[in-house]
Amino acid sequence: MHKGSPGALPLFEEPSQAPVDTSDTWDRSFVDLVRNFSELGQRSAAVHEGGIHYLINEFWTAGQRQAHSIHEVSYRACFKPQLPEFFIKRLTKRTDAVYDPFMGRGTTPVQAGLMGRRPLGNDINPLSVLLTRPRLKPPTLPDIARRLGQVPWHTGTIDNPDLLVFFSEKTLRHICALRNWLLDRAPLGGTADPVDDWIRMVAINRLTGHSPGFFSVYTLPPNQAVSVQSQKKINEQRDQTPVDRDVIKLILKKSRSLLSDGSMPAHPEAILTTSTSQSTPEIRDESVTLVVTSPPFLDIVQYAGDNWLRSWFAGIDVTSVAIAHHQTETAWQNMVRATLGELARVVRPGGHVAFEVGEVRNGSVLLERLVWEAAEGLPFERLFVMVNQQEFTKTANCWGVQNNAKGTNTNRIVVLRRT
């Protein structure tokens, strides 16, 4: 292994003559597989820094839309489906349970379902279940169209006139009619009809955005709703007023897009919960083969604020959802330690945890080191940190945010094996 400072990383090793065959590699040595990975044309570079083994490569494509279309549901700070796919393909077999204790929009459980594994997911925000569950059991387009034809669109009344900064009066009345109808038929926390569940999920994702494909006037991208006051300023600056949108047409259009690559294949029954990551009694001891997850980063994303409008539509009281914001490294690391303790209970011996973190505070805090330390003394073997660097990220800059200003330029995944 190369020893030295992170700023002096070696160049990638020469590609091996024969690419690694990963068609059925779940029982191979994962350490060797990652070290010798060359499917995209280059071997992994190796670095030893601060007691941690790093393996650096482009492990999956940087393409934005090369995953299954059913993933195309917007959510702030979510990773690409290629990330869980990489681990699911190599560390599990069909019917194995794959789990994410911070599932967000549900990328890991949805990808697990697409690959015939058992989807398990948890998130303290009930919005996550509403975004994930419908895509694990999607209805057909004709069923969606028939159900939309049953909505009493003429009954909508406007209870919050402030929302008229986003929507025209006609559109808001239709949104309110759909919201009330769904809340009556599929109350939060209850068992929802799959068609109603799907329509609610799509409507949540069409509320606001920056194109005519959304119910709203031009605003921020759909994964981040601005406040009413901020939207007023946007309207003034752009000299715009909300126009009528065809809610039925837009729901059908998005549904058609989500299902364009086909529906969800058969998979074992999913378990989706709304507990804290440190306590998930619904998941049995040693029942999980693989965990692929990414926790909330240090005071970066305000999930409650970003999702206030979606929560309103879903009937969620955001003030009652205890989404933690960790302002210090110590507090964040304590949360990670408690989460890993719970994962040690649910992951079977020989199973793996892929714990993805990113670059925060302009690269001055490397969260993977905090995760590495948090796992010490727990029944996990700390294998290495995978650094998936995309084509635009230079090797010498993968330790900080220098080449693309702000944001996360690399995926950093702490890989653990349950002992």
405 Cβ neighbours under 8 A, 6+ residues apart: none
Which pLDDT tens digit goes with each residue over 54-72?
Answer: 999 999 876 645 789 999 9
Average pLDDT over residues 388-406: 48
For residue 408, pLDDT over 70 is answered with no
- Residues in a beta bridge with 347: 288
Query: The whole model's pTM is what?
Result: 0.88
167, 170, 173, 174: CA torsion to nearest 10? -90
For residue 106, pLDDT over 90 is answered with yes
For residue 394, pLDDT over 60 is answered with no
- pLDDT value for 23: 42
- pLDDT value for 390: 66
The residues of the chain that CATH labels 3.40.50.150 are 2-124+270-301+322-418
Within 124-266, where are the H helices?
126-136, 141-148, 169-185, 194-206, 228-238, 247-258
State percent of the chain over pLDDT 90. Answer: 70
- pLDDT value for 16: 36
Of the CA atoms within 13 Å of residue 124, those in its CB half-sphere come to: 17
Which pLDDT tens digit goes with each residue over 267-293?
Answer: 999 999 999 999 999 999 999 999 999
For residue 108, pLDDT over 60 is answered with yes
Residue 44 to residue 47: CA distance in whole angstroms: 10
Question: With contact defined as beta carbons under 8 Å apart, do 1 and 53 qualify?
Answer: yes
Is the CATH code 3.40.50.150 the one for domain 2-124+270-301+322-418? yes
